[in-house]
Amino acid sequence: MKNLLLVDDEIHLTSMVISGLKNLLGPKDYSFFSASNGQEALQILESNRIDFVVTDLRMPVMNGLQLLAHLHSNYSSIPVVVLSSYSSDGIEERLRKLGCLKLLSKPVHVVQLAKAIRELLNKTELGGVIKNISVGGFLQLIEMEGKSCQVKVLNKENLATGRFHFEHGILFDASYGDIRGAPAAQKIIGWDDVEITITFHENSGDSPERRIRIPLMTLLLTSMHQKDEDEAASIYTQPKEIVTSNAESARIPQADHQRQEEKDSWKIEPDASEGKMSQTTITDHVKKESKMDVQKLNSIIESMTKDLGQGLLATDIWTVADGFSIAGHNPQPKATALFNQLTTYLNDTLEGSGFPGLGRYYMLDLLDNKLVIILPMGEYRWGVLVDSSKVQLGLLLNIIVPRIIDAFEEAMTS
């Protein structure tokens, strides 16, 4: 008999889901518990043996993110399915790679949920390694939900402590000892055996200094790559020579400079002149089918900030498949997801109605002197948000936009 716990504040929907699961999974093989928030779920976990947890993210008293943090620290062997209104196939795949077992969209399809439960439980019974949500996966959920919070991460191996600060889903800062900003974030993201504590707060207007201005996904990918390099270095020691049976010496085939070039291509180093972080290419992990020189994109973004000054409010370059930013200035995850969907809808509607599709760019004139320019670029899109009262439209359309298009095409062919 397997015990399943469903956590959601929409009680009537929970009852319907449980009823459907009983029919699909069988009432003789499964028993069901329900809770309307994370606090109730913890009480059930303390007094019952729970084999599987399905949880929503948005709940009162104790939300799903706080519950996940507790599960990660105290019940890491329990498989978890996370329900979210902001799920997508691309987001689910990225979170799965980062350690989150399963992310399903709301409203949930009971057949899909039953399939996920069977697969994950079968994996544990067959001795498969079940890994609960990682630090990186947890941070992505916070970004996706647009939360303002402090995240404390305790490394159980050496008792080191790291912290992240989010404002409305945007990673503002990270700290680890005397290290701040992006270097600290990369270090903490690479930790494995951790305990996560999350404290939510309302933005009072007194936000801390924002030290991180590169997309979270860039930090995650760079941290993952650095971790792989560190692990490889820990098990590989290159000898000066190998003595063969006939006493001839042979060098290890991989050259030192080759490994150094690979390592350098992933570094994120401080810009001494401005105290900011500059990011380099993340090609292999962003898209296998495309070559993208993110450093060139960063150069044009830096040029845009100088040319447009305070008129440039934000700019993002993201992948169409999942809406994740690969480079930008003041990235806005929710806006990126919104305009990604809007652009797809506009293009499909135009072409479906017999009209020509979108051209090189389109503009939206918003309230409060805000102007949005979206540039569809194949499997990527580039969005620019400006204050139209502080930017000359001629400069923007005749100089900046063509420069953006040229820089992007050059980055794609580098």
38 in the same domain as 16: yes
189 in the same domain as 160: yes
387 in the same domain as 280: yes
- Mean pLDDT across the chain, nearest whole number? 76
Higher-pLDDT residue of 22, 225: 22
Which of 108, 132, 156 is at the close of a domain?
132
For residue 254, is pLDDT > 60?
Answer: no
In the structure, what pLDDT confidence band is assigned to residue 45 with cuts at 50, 70 and 90?
Answer: very high
7 in the same domain as 76: yes
Distances in Å between the Cα of 281 and the Cα atoms of 160, 218, 224, 297, 301 are 30, 9, 14, 10, 15
Which of 132, 162, 193 is at the close of a domain?
132
Residue 102 located in a structural domain: yes
Residue 141 located in a structural domain: no
Residue 166 located in a structural domain: yes
DSSP, res 396: I
Domain extent for 173: 146-212
Domains of the chain: total:
3
406 in the same domain as 292: yes
Residue 245 located in a structural domain: no
For every residue of 281-346, DSSP letters joined together read --HHHH-TT----HHHHHHHHHHHHHHHGGGEEEEEEEETTT--EEEEES--HHHHHHHHHHHHHH
Cα 372 from chain centre: 24
pLDDT of residue 132: 57
267 in the same domain as 404: yes
206 in the same domain as 75: no
pLDDT of residue 87: 53
42 in the same domain as 156: no
Half-sphere CA count of 47, side-chain side, radius 13 A: 7
- For 301-321, b/e burial (b = at least 16 CB within 10 A) is beebbeebeebbbbbbbbbeb
pTM listed for this prediction: 0.46
Residue 247 located in a structural domain: no
Comparing 122-136, 147-161, 206-220, 239-253, which segment has the lowest mean pLDDT? 239-253
User: Position of tokens 């992948």?
Assistant: 319
75 in the same domain as 171: no
Dist. CA 304–CA 311, nearest whole Å: 10
In the structure, what pLDDT confidence band is assigned to residue 195 with cuts at 50, 70 and 90?
Answer: confident
Counting residues of the chain whose pLDDT is more than 90, the rounded percentage is 13
Dist. CA 42–CA 40, nearest whole Å: 5
297 in the same domain as 370: yes
83 in the same domain as 61: yes
User: Position of tokens 């993208």?
Assistant: 292
Residue 49 located in a structural domain: yes
Counting residues of the chain whose pLDDT is more than 70, the rounded percentage is 76
**Report for 89-103, 124-138, 262-276, 358-372: range of highest mean pLDDT:** 358-372
DSSP, res 2: E
For residue 202, is pLDDT > 80?
Answer: no
pLDDT tens-digit readout, 51-108: 899 998 888 888 888 888 888 778 877 888 888 775 555 555 555 554 445 778 777 7
Residue 238 located in a structural domain: no
Q: What is the CATH number of the domain that holds 301?
A: 3.30.450.30
319 in the same domain as 188: no
In the structure, what pLDDT confidence band is assigned to residue 268 with cuts at 50, 70 and 90?
Answer: very low
Which of 191, 212, 233 is at the close of a domain?
212
Residue 14 located in a structural domain: yes
